[in-house]
Homo-oligomer: A and B are copies of this chain.
Amino acid sequence: MSQAQIKVGIVGVSGYSGMELARLLSRHPNFSVAWATTDRWAGKTLGSMSAVGARLDSLVCATQEEGQTRFGDVQVVFLCTPPEVSIDLAPKILAAGARAVDLSGGFRLAAADYPRWYGFEHHQVELLGNAVYSLPEVTNSAEALRTAKLVSNPGCYPTASSLPLLALLRAGVIEPQGIIVDAKSGTTGAGRKGSEAMSFSEVADDFRAYRVGKHQHTPEIERILALGGVPDIKLTFTAHLLPVRRGILATTYGRLADGAGADATKAAEAALQAFAKDQPFIRVVDAESVTLHAVVGTNRVVMGVRADVERKVVVAIAAIDNLVKGAAGQALQNANLMFGLPETLALDDLMGHQP
């Protein structure tokens, strides 16, 4: 490692996105993890708790309390914490002179949306206003990230759902009204916690919808579409729990815009291709080739589309790994941009989990 290493800290390394981030950082040429906190593993090495690259194998986990004394030792802190914790810690990190990337939902919506969708009042409204919400493929945030103090990393469902929809909306292929997102996620999206509902005996061989009509990612998808140039969308979003550990697949439905011809599928594909142009992490494939296997372990978004001219509906499907492009990978993508590094650094050579 060169002397130009950028020092980073991780708060909440024992969670699934925290550990995934540690693994990604363990093979990054420019970031060096100075400390990682988690009360659960305090005093233990990362390598003894999970398979991490050799470079971080012997890093000893610190307590959350110790971590708070070391914010000033690093240039950037990754918050892999629940929203309330992130909202509490972010100002302290900034006060210590470090920058922060928050992987939680703590800084993703307008303050007014928090009571309804997150169940609490946001008490850092000014900081929320200054946070840079960055889904790089949409927000063109490279420049803003260079100076951003607090970066808000998008949610997993919003990342998967918004990209194909925005491609089709921008191209006028679908109407803005009546959009449906039927999304399915693996269990790591629910975090690392022990509950009967998330136990193997209950989840294996099962499938179900959850938080129907009230999932907090609904307004976040709408916000991304607005940031991407299509405001005032009200869509329907349903989340389902898949009996797999990783991966999100979102099947989206939009009404085919008037005037579409028999080649509507071609036009829709062209819209996705245009959107994907120069985007290193987006792959456009046939709708039936959008699979979890194609994305798990990578920072990719794979998407495909089919139009049904008779029924005037466009079905666009997208998949991501919820822990990589849906969390830690996207956080690293943002961090690369924050420090002027290539966006794909240590992200485009990830090995997929496909057998």
Chain A interface residues (CB < 8 Å from chain B): 16, 19-20, 23-24, 26-27, 48, 50-55, 178, 180, 182, 184, 187-188, 190, 192-213, 234-236, 238, 240, 242-247, 249, 251, 253, 255, 280, 285, 287-298, 300, 306, 308, 310-311, 313, 315, 317, 323, 344, 348-355
7 contacts between A and B (CB under 8 A): A16-B201, A50-B294, A194-B194, A194-B198, A204-B204, A205-B205, A236-B253
Contact B354 A51 (CB under 8 A): yes
B48, B190, B195, B234: the one within 8 Å of A311 (CB): B234
Contact B184 A290 (CB under 8 A): no
Contact A51 B201 (CB under 8 A): no
Report B-chain residues with C-beta under 8 Å of the C-beta of A187: 199-201, 204
Report B-chain residues with C-beta under 8 Å of the C-beta of A52: 352
Report B-chain residues with C-beta under 8 Å of the C-beta of A244: 204-207, 243
Chain B CB count within 10 A is highest, among A26, A180, A193, A253, for A180
Looking at the assembled complex, report how far the CB atom of A208 sits from the nearest CB atom of chain B, in whole angstroms. Answer: 4
Knowing A180-B180, A308-B236 touch, does A288 contact B200 (C-beta < 8 A)? no
Knowing A195-B194, A311-B235 touch, does A351 contact B350 (C-beta < 8 A)? yes
Looking at the assembled complex, report how far the CB atom of A259 sits from the nearest CB atom of chain B, in whole angstroms. Answer: 18
What's the Cα separation between A211 and B323 when bound, in Å? 28
Knowing A178-B255, A235-B311 touch, does A192 contact B201 (C-beta < 8 A)? yes
Knowing A54-B344, A193-B196 touch, does A209 contact B24 (C-beta < 8 A)? no
Looking at the assembled complex, report how far the CB atom of A39 sits from the nearest CB atom of chain B, in whole angstroms. Answer: 14
Contact B251 A209 (CB under 8 A): yes
B210, B238, B352: the one within 8 Å of A50 (CB): B352
Contact A196 B194 (CB under 8 A): yes
Task: Find the B residue at minimum CB distance from A298.
Answer: B51
What's the Cα separation between A353 and B201 when bound, in Å? 11
Contact B198 A55 (CB under 8 A): no
Contact B208 A290 (CB under 8 A): yes
Looking at the assembled complex, report how far the CB atom of A312 sits from the nearest CB atom of chain B, in whole angstroms. Answer: 9
Task: Find the B residue at minimum CB distance from A293.
Answer: B206
Report B-chain residues with C-beta under 8 Å of the C-beta of A255: 178
Contact B249 A310 (CB under 8 A): no
Contact B204 A351 (CB under 8 A): no
Contact A210 B300 (CB under 8 A): no
Contact B236 A313 (CB under 8 A): yes
What's the Cα separation between A209 and B285 when bound, in Å? 13
Contact B354 A50 (CB under 8 A): yes
Report B-chain residues with C-beta under 8 Å of the C-beta of A290: 208-209
